[in-house]
Amino acid sequence: MTLRAWAPGRVTLIGDHTDYTGGRALPMAIGLGIELLADRASDWIILGSEELAGVAELPLTIDDPSKVEPGWARYVAAVVRELRPTDGLTGTLHSNLPIGRGLSSSAALEVAVAAMLGANLRDPVAAAQLCRRAEHRAVGVLCGIMDQLAVIAAVEDHALRLDCHSLEMTPVPFPAGIEVVVVDSGQQRELESSPYETRRAECGLAESHIGPLRLATPNDAETIDDPLLRRRARHVTTENQRVDAFITALGAQDLRHAGELMAASHASLRDDYEVSTPQLDALVAHLRGTPGVYGARLTGAGFGGCVVALCAAGTLIDLPVVWRGRPGGGALLTEEPSLVD
């Protein structure tokens, strides 16, 4: 019997670089994703890909996924290493999600493979933690939990508020008459070769001055003597506040204010956290000047990748749009094979 696992990509509407200090984030699933069609068979994992070169050809017992080739198969191997399945798989991956563009393609791949190998998606926290451990093992990046939680637990027509300390997830209704637009900067980036780990370490140093950043206020951040650590802490503490202010603005249909908060978030990521690029800044500026757009910001880790804009439904966008629409649902495992269009 052929099974179909499907896992979406995500954008962060607001709340980036907050998850790994246990802060708050507001991601949503987009309508692009990764599909895996496979049969449980034999005692090997053999997965081809329509978009990526090479084949993931793996035994069921793997010790070090980080050495596996081709590179994308490391994520598959790391999930196998976590789940230690007793049966193999033969199948094909198909993705309409751009890879390495800040849309959580790696989390989507991990989740699709984990679902196919029997991870329980109805326990989203456990499944997300498993996939996050796999990401650590595959590429050595200590990412937060946002991407994996969003990919698994996203709710259609809602954004998902995450408390990345308690792991509480709260669906936030998405107002009528608006949509999200995703524009690609064309700048490829990989977390493992970016300053992501440096930022994480800087947060750790800031915490040695003022305690857990998730509990700290922007005023606490201003007491840090070191100017660089002060800026990093300022981003995290203000971004945590912006997440809840944005949710309040959405609830009040105050889209103008929601857009201002997105602008403030982008400025904070650019100036205090230093994860933007001139290309991302230019796209955000262009989108903010487009009639019908309420707000725009970089989304995900930054260092390249995509920007996200919130706009009135049907707004004319004169940039190459990767995806536009309303929030989609989370990952699925079904018995009905059907192709992603």
Task: List residues binding ligand GLA (CB under 6 A).
Answer: 12, 16-17, 19-20, 143-144, 146-147, 300-301
Alpha helices by DSSP H, listed for the chain, are 73-83, 105-116, 124-139, 146-153, 196-210, 218-222, 227-251, 255-271, 278-288
Q: What is the CA radius of gyration of the chain?
A: 19
Q: How far is the CB of 292 from ligand GLA (least distance, A)?
A: 26
> Residue 334 Cβ, how far from ligand GLA at the closest point, in Å?
27
> Which pair of tokens denotes residue 74?
């490391």
Q: Closest CB to ligand GLA among 4 and 214?
A: 214
Q: Looking at beta carbons only, is 142 or 228 nearer to ligand GLA? A: 142
Compute the least distance from the CB of residue 298 to ligand GLA, in Å. 10
Identify which of residues 35 and 239 has a Cβ nearer to ligand GLA in the complex.
239
DSSP letters along 136-184, please?
HHHH-----SHHHHHHHH--TTEEEEEETTTTEEEEEEPPTTEEEEEEE
Report the 10 Å Cβ neighbour count for 188.
14
Under 8 Å between Cβ of 89 and 37: no
Q: Are 84 and 60 in contact (CB under 8 A)?
A: yes
Q: Rounded to 10 degrees, what is the CA torsion of 113, 118, 119, 121?
A: 90
Question: Buried b vs exposed e over 69-93: b needs ≥16 C-beta within 10 Å?
Answer: eeebbbbbbbbbbbbebeebbbbeb
Minimum Å gap between C-beta 301 and ligand GLA is: 3
If the CB atoms of residues 12 and 238 are measured against ligand GLA, the closer one turns out to be 12
Closest distance to ligand GLA from the beta carbon of 68 (Å)? 20
Give the residue with the Cβ less far from ligand GLA, 224 or 301: 301
**Residue 271 zone, left/alpha/beta (φ > 0; ψ -120 to 50; rest):** alpha
Query: Cα(136)–Cα(129) distance, rounded to whole angstroms?
Result: 11
Q: Which residues are catalytically annotated?
A: 147
Q: Which is nearer to ligand GLA, 37 or 331 (CB)?
A: 331
The answer to whether the beta carbons of residues 4 and 337 sit under 8 Å apart is yes
97 CB neighbour count, 10 Å cutoff: 24
How big is the CA angle at 111 (ends 105 and 114), to the nearest 5 degrees? 140
Shortest Å, Cβ 69 to ligand GLA = 23
